[in-house]
Amino acid sequence: MKIGYVQTSPTFSEKTQNFEQVKNLLNNIKADLIVLPELFATGYTFISKKEAESLAEDINGQTAQFLKKLSKITGGVVIGGFIEKDGDEIFNSAMIVSKNEVIGTYRKIHLYYKECLWFSPGNKPLRIYEVNNVKIGIMICFDWFFPETIRTLALLGADIIAHPANLVLPYCQKAMTTHCLVNRVFAVTSNRIGNEVRGEDDFKFTGGSQITSYNGNILSSAPTDKVYIKFIEIDVIHARDKKLNSYNDLLNDRRPEFYLL
């Protein structure tokens, strides 16, 4: 299975321009799973809820149409972040698309910093999307800070965690090696680069998009300051074997009756 990330440098609010950047980066690429950053089409640093609402879409919107075309051209499942509008609420979401169909959306459940001023917290349970006999879980950026997120997806049977991100803290990439090791799952963290200075905020995004193996090895690491793509071949069968050795199974050995959750 060929999986990978697209590390971009979006221009705030310029959806068409940001779509074109992704399209050009993926020129002639064929892959099974492509992960784009969090809010890849809009940028991240909003100055009001009204501004965020003005860039929101439903699952038939401009971003959905672009991802459908991208999936058809590349032949892969495409996952990317967008602002999802549902009634009077907006969510920091990720859309999963295969061929000409939006399979579903995941709404970020752990909002970071001022996101809680613009977005409603995710109101959908974590779930697995099975496409072409591969089980894909989704989390967004700051969700990684809560180990319950990845553990829940692993317990649900995830082979791969798709992780769209706009990381500004320096911890995630190293932490993902442990998260993947203790859950024996693959992960694709797709981050962005660049600065956004808007209102009172000045965010520098850390790049370093990463593909992490089920055994904690880093299979690919992007530069911190360059637009970049990378795709590698993996065998998801490894993520289905939770045995650390002949005596220890990392999920079956859990003792939930002793845990305080």
Q: Write out the catalytic residue numbers.
A: 38, 108, 141
Query: Which residue in the block uniquely carries the two structure tokens 């002949």?
Result: 246
- Dihedral sign computed on CA atoms, order 63, 64, 70, 71: positive
Residues with Cβ within 8 Å of residue 79, at least 6 apart in sequence: 33, 34, 35, 36, 94, 95, 96, 97, 136, 138, 162, 164
What's the order of all strands across the beta sheet hosting 2-7?
A: 101-107, 89-98, 77-86, 33-35, 2-7, 228-233
Q: What is the DSSP letter of 55?
A: T
Per the structure block, which two tokens stand in for 236?
């998801």
Residues with Cβ within 8 Å of residue 29, at least 6 apart in sequence: 74, 229, 231
| Alpha carbon distance 102, 98 (integer Å) | 7
